[in-house]
């Protein structure tokens, strides 16, 4: 499992536990990068994976939101 897949899985677990609720804004790419000690590209890949799984949506000028 790649690093971005592990990161995406972590966010899926937060969603499943109810820590993130429908419409909640996801943490910024920069914030996640610093908190998890990964590159911004890794976070972007994780967010794109979550978006492809319909877990989150991207909104221009807003960011990523839990769907």
Domains in the chain, ordered, with CATH?
Answer: 3-66 (1.10.10.10)
Q: 37 — phi, psi (to 5°)? A: 65, 35
pLDDT in the model for residue 51: 96
CB neighbour class for 64 (10 Å; exposed up to 12, middle 13-18, buried from 19): buried
How long, in residues, is the chain? 67
Instruction: Kindly give the confidence (pLDDT) of every residue in the chain, 67 residues in length, as a single tens digit, with 9 standing for 90 and above.
Output: 999 999 999 999 988 898 888 889 999 999 999 999 999 999 999 999 999 999 999 999 889 999 8
> Do residues 55 and 46 touch, judged by C-beta distance below 8 A?
no
pLDDT in the model for residue 8: 97
Q: 40 is written with which tokens?
A: 């911004």
């Amino acid at each position: 499992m790649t690093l971005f897949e592990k990161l995406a899985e972590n966010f899926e677990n937060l969603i499943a536990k109810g820590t993130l609720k429908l419409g909640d804004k996801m943490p910024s790419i920069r914030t996640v990068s610093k908190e998890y000690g990964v590159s911004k590209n890794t976070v972007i890949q994780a967010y794109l994976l979550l978006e492809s799984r319909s877990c989150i949506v991207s909104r221009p000028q807003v960011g990523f939101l839990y769907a």
